[in-house]
Structure 1
Amino acid sequence: METDATYCGTVYPWQCDHVGHMNIMWYVGKFDEANWNLFARLGLTPSYLRESGRGMAAVQQTVTYKRELLAGDIVEVRSRLLEIRDKSVRFMHEMRNAETGEIAAVCEFVGVHMDRQARKSTPFAPAIRDAAMRYLEPAMA
C-alpha cells in the first residue's frame, strides 16, 4: 500500500488523562481520521459517499496499545489493506511516535459498505474493488 501516512497530528495537553498520557478516546479518534484518508484512496471519497447514498460502518475494531503518547508528541498513522470482500474490507493502522519511530498502538478494523437509505450492506462498486485490489497487502507466507 502507499507509504504516505493516513494521519499526521500531535498530542495536545487536553487529550491527556490523569496519568499524563493520551487518553484512549483520542487514539480511537486519530484512527478514525486515518480511516477516512484510507477510504479516499480506495475511491470512497466524501463526494462519492454523498452522491451514491453509500456509507461505511465499522463492525469490528481491535486496538492494541504498546507505548504511551504524551502531550507534544507528534503522531503518524500508516495503514494497510488486509482483505477486500464483496461488501466489507479489513485493514490495519499502525500509530507511531513520529519522532522516535516507536509503535504506540495498532488497530485492526472491519468496515462494511452500506446503502444509507436501506440501512443494509451492499457490494462495493467495481471501481472501488479494483482500487482496493491494487492496495491489497500480499498474504504473509
Structure 2
Amino acid sequence: MTDLLRLFTRAHKLLQAASDEAMSAHGVRVGQNLVLEVLWADDGLTPGDLATRLRVSTPTVVNAATRMEAAGLITRRRDDADARLVRLYLTDAGRNAEEPVRAARKALAEKVTAEFTAEERAATESALIKIIGALERP
C-alpha cells in the first residue's frame, strides 16, 4: 500500500504542476478552474453554495474568490433580496476563459492518458471515484 500512496502523491504533484501551467496560460490558477466551471453552469452563487458543490470549506472559496476578483475573473455583489448575502458573478474575462480553459483541461487529460487503453481509462476513473468516495465518508 505504501508504494500505491507514493505513486498517488507523485502523480498528484505532477498533475497539479501541469494543470497550473495549462491554466495559467489563460489567467487562471489551478483550482480556480473548478470554481469557474461551477459558475459557468450557474452564475451568481454564494460562496457557501459554491463550497457545497465543490465539497470544500466556505473559507477556501472566499480565499479563491478574493484572488479571482483581483485577477478580474469574477465580481462580488450583494444579493438583491438579502443584503447579508454576497454572490459571485463572472466578469467578461471569466466568461471568455471558458472555452480555452476547457480545451486546456481536455488536452491535459488526453496527454496524461495517451498510453491508456479505453479499458484502462474506465478502470482508472472508476478507481478514483471509489477512492474519493472512501475519503469523503465520515
TM-score norm. by structure 1 comes to 0.25
Higher Rg: 2
TM-score norm. by structure 2 comes to 0.25
Return the structure number with greater relative CO, CA threshold 8 A, min gap 6: 1
The structure with the greater share of residues assigned to strand is 1
